Structure 1
Amino acid sequence: MTLQPITHLRHLDLAVPDFERQRAFYTGVWGLTEVARDGGLAFFAAEGSPEHYVVRLRRDERKRMDLVAFGAATSADVDALASRLIAGNVSLVHEPRLLDTPGGGYGLRFFDPDGRVVEVSSGVSPRVHRKIEEREAIPVRLSHCVVNSDHPERLRAFYERHLGFRLSDTLYSHRMGDLMYFMRCNRLHHSFAIARGPHVSLHHASFEMRGVEEYMRGTGRALRAGTRLTWGPGRHLAGDNTFSYFHDPHGNTVEYTTELAVVDEDTWHPDRHDVDDQRTQDQWGTADPMSEVIAKEQFNDPDVLFQAPPV
């Protein structure tokens, strides 16, 4: 297996009770395109992304994060990852096999130490996508996924050891210690991040816009649609990206962002950013200062753990 088997973030899968309301939000408000539907499953693409889908919704009585999916370079990397996970006594949901989701491919699923399901796949056929035009305020791609963990140090070590993620930066507090680890699998500052939280859950899913103009127009469209803004607009220090955090109809935090930093692997050194410095959370000073109330907005509901979704 290559030292860095994970190439990129593919998609995030969510289960929700009010399936139709969630479908309407991701198409009518958030700007994704529904590309496939099969009963209680719906698949949504970002028009600027070659991924067949970046969000999958599944109808279920329980709200949960079904899984987070990453890409691998080759089927050999998928097989080698499976062998490494088995040798490390990591519980597999299923061994490498052909996938029957849009785009196909070859992949496996397993539980990370927190109990969430992770999928890693290769050979997924690219989707015909297009250039997002100037002032077109829809997502280009899925930017990153952030999860809450009550054991973030353990989770960071797992993703570094088994999936080859590298630490880009850390948020910390003198009172509470390390609060967030930003992890990269390519030159983007982070595709995955781990936040210290009271329980295991989705912190937020972030969607990249074409530029600041499109990011602001998308933020405005969501606001005009009555979507609840929980934080922003602003610009983080770690990653240097813009942020507008909203709640989807089931209380999951979704973010519009743009201009995420691209790092030089040969020269980058992880930094530690103090959250008590207001510039760490928002360089612009346009968002409300980070507070306990704002932080709780991203805690989300406790997730369903060590139980694989039915599909």
Structure 2
Amino acid sequence: MTFSPITHLRHVDLAVPDYRKQLDFYTSTWGLTKVADDDGIAFLAAEGSPEQYIVRLRRGDKRMDLVAFGAASAADVDALAERLIAAGVTIVREPGDLDTPGGGYGLRFFDVDGRVVEVSSDVAVRQHRRVEERESIPVKLSHCVVNSPDPDRMRAWYAEHLGFRLTDTLWSPHMGDLMYFMRCNDWHHSFAIARGPHASLHHASFEMRGVEEYMRGTGRVKRAGAKLTWGPGRHSAGDNTFSYFHDPHGNTIEYTTELERILDEDAWHPGIHDITDPLTADQWGTADPMSESVAKEQFNDPDVLFSPPPV
């Protein structure tokens, strides 16, 4: 049986030079709630999520500090550490108590591309609430997508070491496989790997209450002056809506809703979605067609690899 220690996506951590500008955008414009802010580090929660925070911002040179996932128990964290060490994976922080909001028990390590991954258990549940009808703020962090110059190797690594399963593939008759959608629970994807010129954050996606709230949020962020790079539309793989924006430092972030769920694991067979079919990118036909210029908007700057963040 495949070892599958990962239960869900927890948070994405970003470092940026203009910390105050980024913090203001994510709270005042994007709709997250600051739960802690201390000496250039802020922890931002979604009102509808039990996670203590879903984005961490840090003052520093631009980079993706880490992506964090949940585990069911401390025993699973320890078992994961043992397996990673045996496989020769570099551990950044040995399993131990966490000093971030909600506490918990976790470890950090490098993935095969060199980005930092955190896996934790026993984090206290945050008091959250139901997001109301027409309230256009994120309910939770939906998924994280990264760019990789070798997505085949990345897909195999996350499947072997973290137990992610392939759900669907975006494919081009000229370029081959372009994106792998990976799941760790019954959501279509919590993580995805895109073919890119370098390792970087492709986008982080935030779930809205429903289509009405998703559209209101899209309009609100547009009116605030954020750059809409693609959307609104509805993807084929995952069947979710999409509106992609750039934050003040050029990271792509997405409003989405109604992501597909895989309720019968045994009956699911990964599909191949041809991007030359217009319905693959956008079932509605409301967004600009997928093009090289649209794809480049998600390449981002090359990330800092095999170098852990200071905190």
TM-score of Structure 1 vs Structure 2, range by shorter chain: over 0.9
Task: Show the 5 A alignment for 1:139-158.
Answer: 139-158=138-157
| Number of the residue aligned with 1:173 | 172
TM-score by length of 2: 0.99
Instruction: Report the CA distance between 1:2 and its aligned residue.
Output: 7.6
| Number of the residue aligned with 1:301 | 301
Query: What secondary structure sits across from 2:147 in the alignment?
Result: strand
| Number of the residue aligned with 2:158 | 159
Flag structure 1 segments of 5+ consecutive residues without an equivalent. Answer: none
| Number of the residue aligned with 2:46 | 46
| Number of the residue aligned with 1:277 | 277
| Distance in 2, Cα, partners of 1:233 & 1:2 | 38
Query: What secondary structure sits across from 2:217 in the alignment?
Result: helix
| Number of the residue aligned with 1:205 | 204
| Distance in 1, Cα, partners of 2:275 & 2:152 | 18
AA at the equivalent of 1:160 = A
AA at the equivalent of 1:157 = A
Matched residue count: 310
| Distance in 1, Cα, partners of 2:214 & 2:139 | 11
Query: What secondary structure sits across from 1:139 in the alignment?
Result: coil
Aligned identity (percent) is: 76
| Distance in 1, Cα, partners of 2:94 & 2:172 | 40
| Number of the residue aligned with 1:77 | 76
Deviations 1:225-276 (A, max 9, x none): 0000000000000000000000000000000000000012121110000001
Instruction: Report the CA distance between 1:3 and its aligned residue.
Output: 2.7
| Distance in 1, Cα, partners of 2:222 & 2:165 | 35
Instruction: Report the CA distance between 1:67 and its aligned residue.
Output: 0.1
| Number of the residue aligned with 1:120 | 119
Flag structure 2 segments of 5+ consecutive residues without an equivalent. Answer: none
| Number of the residue aligned with 2:98 | 99
| Distance in 1, Cα, partners of 2:139 & 2:307 | 32
Contact 1:2/1:77 (<8 A) preserved: no
AA at the equivalent of 1:24 = D
AA at the equivalent of 1:125 = A
Stretches of 4+ moved more than 4 A in 1?
A: none
| Number of the residue aligned with 1:236 | 235
Deviations 1:271-290 (A, max 9, x none): 00000101000000000000
Contact 1:167/1:182 (<8 A) preserved: yes
| Number of the residue aligned with 1:260 | 259
| Number of the residue aligned with 1:288 | 288
| Distance in 2, Cα, partners of 1:3 & 1:160 | 9
| Distance in 1, Cα, partners of 2:3 & 2:302 | 33
| Distance in 1, Cα, partners of 2:24 & 2:143 | 22
| Distance in 1, Cα, partners of 2:13 & 2:189 | 19
